[in-house]
Amino acid sequence: MLGTLTRREWLEMMAATFIPGQAPPIRSVEVFSAPYPVAGYFKFFGKDRRDSVLVKITCEDGSYGWGQSVPIPTWSYETTESVISTIEHYLAPVLVGRNPFDLAGAHEAMNRAIAGSFSTGMPIAKAGIDLALHDLIGRLRGQNMPERWGRHPLPRILLSWTVNPRSLQETEVLVSEGLRRGYQHFNVKLGPDPRFDLEMCRIVRKLVPNCFLWGDANGSYDLASALWVAPRLADLGMNVLEQPLPSNRLSGYRELKKQGALPIILDEGVVSAGDLIEFIRLGLLDGVAMKPARTGGLWQARRQIEILEDAGLMFLGSGLTDPDVSLAASLQLFAAFQLKYPAALNGPQFLKGTYLRQPLVVENGWISVPLGPGLGVEVDEERVRSGLGARV
């Protein structure tokens, strides 16, 4: 076991294992469909709601934790149905009876039950389990995640407003709405037309000349287009270029990195810490847009940020239009590691409603980090079980 863990992780696991009365075994893992109404157009939503799956893990003594999986089939292969069936039939059975503090063992058990291919299998489903375990551990210890990790967190996170116009005429309207709501920084959805993208970014930069401007192509360029557009985006004042190519175009990323027009940020292709280490060795990136939902949860996301810090590379805060519990987990992580850049956490921008007793609120482009134990938030369990949907 020690050969697969860092010394710190092994010590954490052993400390949890040998403290009497602190590790009641897991009794049950429950899943609930938890949809949210959508507010406005977002390119990855094909319908008027954003589906999610809430996960509750309960121990033999009645202690519990909540997590959330946030599949988007137009972004990745996982669906609401596949997340629910994977947890119910494959992940829950290998977790019942386990020590909830043994996060490394939980991930090893889940990865045996659902194997990977190029990288971790079903990471979005596993993220729901991981977040629930972190929430449970924090509640048992009376600590939030930064306290649990021995870190001093930021009290709030600065956000970035997402601009994804369907026409150039929409660009100014979308930027103006972000400014009206107090946002100072902007991220733009790029691709597949680089000429459209250049004109859109010219408009955005003119309207907000001092913002941190973050371009995200979600893998939609081919290499020739990416090499052509990157220096032109740099000339317009773009700060970073995220995922310009599909995840498996590794030689293309090496060419873009050598070109050096913009910092190249990876997203979709980095799921495990092993992926990240390999891509760093190959010289493919300048940083990662970190998403706990994509990496299988906080366990891997935290390790990846530490790897980036050790390598002197950037980490940006991002998400999968995360609502409620998943959003709270991202805030805990980014606050703990003193995020230096505006976070593209656009759940509050594109979603309505909540399953929390006290919803997370954005004020003038900032969002406060919840202070309660675990992930810091309280789920309205009665509403979840009733199936009434998110409270708007």
Q: Are 134 and 297 in contact (CB under 8 A)?
A: yes
pLDDT at 20 over 60: no
Summarize pLDDT for 202-226 with one digit per residue, the tens. Answer: 999 999 999 999 999 999 999 999 9
Mean predicted confidence (pLDDT) in 81-85: 98
Upstream peptide bond of 93 is cis (omega within 30 degrees of 0): no
DSSP, collapsed to helix, strand or coil, labels residue 66 as: strand
Residue 3 pLDDT: 37
More confident position, 201 or 19: 201
Over its C-alpha atoms, the chain yields an Rg (Å, rounded) of 20
Confidence of residue 379 (pLDDT cuts 50, 70, 90): very high
Q: Round to whole Å and give the CA distance between 126 and 91.
A: 8
User: What is the pairing mode between strands 264-266 and 240-242?
Assistant: parallel
Q: Which CATH class is domain 2-147?
A: alpha beta
Cβ-count burial of 98 within 10 angstroms (0-12 exposed, 13-18 middle, 19+ buried)? middle
Mean predicted confidence (pLDDT) in 13-32: 70
pLDDT > 90: what percent of the chain?
A: 90
Mean predicted confidence (pLDDT) in 182-205: 98
Summarize pLDDT for 315-369 with one digit per residue, the tens. Answer: 999 999 999 999 999 999 999 999 999 999 999 999 999 999 999 999 999 999 9
Task: Classify residue 197 by its DSSP letter.
Answer: H
Q: Round to whole Å and give the CA distance between 367 and 287.
A: 24
Confidence of residue 183 (pLDDT cuts 50, 70, 90): very high
Q: Which CATH class is domain 152-386?
A: alpha beta
Residue 19 pLDDT: 47
Give ranges for CATH 3.20.20.120 in the chain.
Answer: 152-386
Q: Round to whole Å and give the CA distance between 190 and 200.
A: 9
Q: Round to whole Å and give the CA distance between 331 and 313.
A: 20
Residue 15 pLDDT: 43
Confidence of residue 47 (pLDDT cuts 50, 70, 90): confident
Beta bridge partners of 12: none
Residue 46 pLDDT: 76
Residue 10 pLDDT: 44
Mean predicted confidence (pLDDT) in 296-303: 98
Residue 12 pLDDT: 53
Model confidence, pTM: 0.93
Give ranges for CATH 3.30.390.10 in the chain.
Answer: 2-147
pLDDT at 74 over 50: yes
In which order are the strands placed within the sheet that holds 362-363?
A: 156-158, 366-368, 362-363
Mean predicted confidence (pLDDT) in 224-236: 98
Mean predicted confidence (pLDDT) in 151-156: 97
The per-residue pLDDT of the chain, averaged, comes to 94
Q: Which two tokens stand for residue 181?
A: 């709501």
pLDDT at 2 over 50: no
pLDDT at 232 over 50: yes
pLDDT at 77 over 70: yes
Confidence of residue 257 (pLDDT cuts 50, 70, 90): very high
